[in-house]
Amino acid sequence: MRRIIWLMLLSLVIVAILTGCSDQSYVIEERNGNQLSLGPDEQNPEASYALIEVTVDDQTKVNGQTNQLSCLQKGDRIRFAYRNSKKPLVATIERVK
């Protein structure tokens, strides 16, 4: 019984570590003012996806610099982080090459 409990705890720790390391990127599908509609980076043409709506402002950093929002275009691949866990306001955007 102890062995099963330890095995389950070890499995949970491994899942937690792998989940925390995920670094998913997105594609900008549409940009309207300070709103970005993002889709998954890797898409199956036969599947449909719900878009993620995020808000950017003049404090959002793009590749480490502020006021660089004009460089974001439809089709850009990005990674982003929310500001202080306040969805949908974005703190940082990193362009993926």
CATH number at residue 42: 2.40.50.140
In which domain, by residue range, is 81 found?
Answer: 23-95
Name residues whose C-beta falls within 8 Å of residue 70's C-beta, 6 or more positions apart in sequence.
none
**Residue of 22, 30, 18 whose CA lies nearest to 76:** 30
| Chain segment 69-97, per-residue pLDDT in tens | 778 889 999 999 888 877 888 888 898 87
DSSP assignment letter at 83: S
Residue 3 resides in a domain: no
- Alpha-helix runs per DSSP H in the chain: 2-20
Query: What's the count of helices (H) and strands (E) in the chain, helices before strands?
Result: 1, 7
Residue 1 resides in a domain: no
Number of domains in the chain: 1
| Chain segment 22-59, per-residue pLDDT in tens | 468 899 999 998 899 999 888 777 888 888 999 988 88
